[in-house]
Amino acid sequence: MTTPSISIIGCGRVGTALAVFLARAGFPLAGVASRSLASARNTARLAGAGQVFDTPTDAAKNGNVLFITTPDAAIEGVFADLVAQKALQSGSVVFHCSGALSSGILVKEGTAGIATGSIHPLQSFAPCEAGQASPFKGINISVEGDDSAVELGTRMVEALGGVSFTIPTRAKTLYHAAAVVASNYLVTLERFAIDLLREAELSEARAYEILSPLILGTLSNIGNRGTVAALTGPVARGDREIVERHMADIEKVRPEYSELYRLLGQYTLKIAREGGDLDPGSADRLEALFKPPGS
């Protein structure tokens, strides 16, 4: 298997980390280019390799695997320019690293013989510094795209010490939505709980301290036993009276959370029903409670 040479366009956090650690893993760094020459020079300096080019077109022409690591909004335009300038040779592979966008944005007329893919590390990157440890080590990294791009992408992820997994191109947006729900919306959920504890005269820091064993224990139960078995509490027990009291007090002191509590209750009830331990009468009474007001 031949080792392809890499060009990086967009020398920011991810582009620089890829340049440094792919070069270190034995992938020759052919070229780097960015919006500014200073960023491209900095990347080549940190990688200890890679010719610095004024334009993405020249950098692309110099390698046979290209990473477009610009901000998401610029990826499509950079790719379109490369295609228009005929900078991509047949047999080359083009990747981007967006989590929200799929390789589907890299399809243009005149790209026959060019494979495209995306490689997305589920990780937040800080600017690359000299001597730093690899930010890819042990990180889950999704790969999708054309078969040959997925094959090469997986090989590169493994060489970087990451943990690769493949997703279908059509599911890329849902994959990103999942990450947002699991991470960002978890913050919102914990903020909801913390705000209720603030009504019990606890500071945000103390509220989190009190909740954290419960949060971490629940996450561990999901990991060990799955979501259905991890569910405990009044909805899982079918305790309508308790839930009704929650709803009444939330409406009294933090009415902005009433709708969220009701909706979360609806979805929690679905999980409780899946468990099979909830008697159907209690489940139906809870369902009526969680219906939108006036419906």
Ligand X SMILES: NC(=O)c1ccc[n+]([C@@H]2O[C@H](COP(=O)([O-])OP(=O)(O)OC[C@H]3O[C@@H](n4cnc5c(N)ncnc54)[C@H](OP(=O)(O)O)[C@@H]3O)[C@@H](O)[C@H]2O)c1
How would you classify the pairing of strands 140-145 and 115-121? antiparallel
Query: Closest separation between CB of residue 266 and ligand X, Å?
Result: 33
Backbone angles phi, psi at 239, to 5 degrees: -90, 85
70 binds ligand X (CB under 6 A): yes
Please identify, using beta-carbon distances, which residue of 125 and 208 lies nearer to ligand X. Answer: 125
39 binds ligand X (CB under 6 A): yes
63 binds ligand X (CB under 6 A): no
Please identify, using beta-carbon distances, which residue of 18 and 196 lies nearer to ligand X. Answer: 18
**Taking Cα atoms as reference points, which of 69, 78, 73 lies closest to residue 118?**
69
74 binds ligand X (CB under 6 A): yes
Cα–Cα distance between 268 and 11 in angstroms, integer?
Answer: 44
Q: Which member of 4, 8, 10, 290 binds ligand X (CB under 6 A)?
A: 10
Tell me how many residues contact ligand X (CB under 6 A).
27
Burial class (CB in 10 A: 0-12, 13-18, 19+), 225: exposed
Cα–Cα distance between 258 and 239 in angstroms, integer?
Answer: 18
13 binds ligand X (CB under 6 A): yes
Quick note: the x/- pattern for ligand X over 88-117, rule CB under 6 A, is --------xxxx------------------
Q: Which member of 61, 120, 172, 240 binds ligand X (CB under 6 A)?
A: 120
Whether the Cβ atoms of residue 275 and residue 230 lie closer than 8 Å to each other = no
Quick note: the x/- pattern for ligand X over 124-153, rule CB under 6 A, is xx----------------------------
Query: Percent helix, strand and coil across the chain, each rounded to 5?
Result: 55, 10, 30
Query: Closest separation between CB of residue 113 and ligand X, Å?
Result: 24
31 binds ligand X (CB under 6 A): no
54 binds ligand X (CB under 6 A): no
Compute CA distances 63 → 4, 118, 156, 286, whole Å.
8, 17, 15, 61
46 binds ligand X (CB under 6 A): no
Q: How far does the chain reach from its first CA to its final CA, in angstroms?
A: 64
Q: Which helix H or strand E contains 142, and what residues bound it? A: strand 140-145
45 binds ligand X (CB under 6 A): no
Query: Under the rule (CB under 6 A), what is the footprint of ligand X?
Result: 9-15, 34-36, 39, 56, 69-72, 74, 78, 96-99, 120-121, 123-125
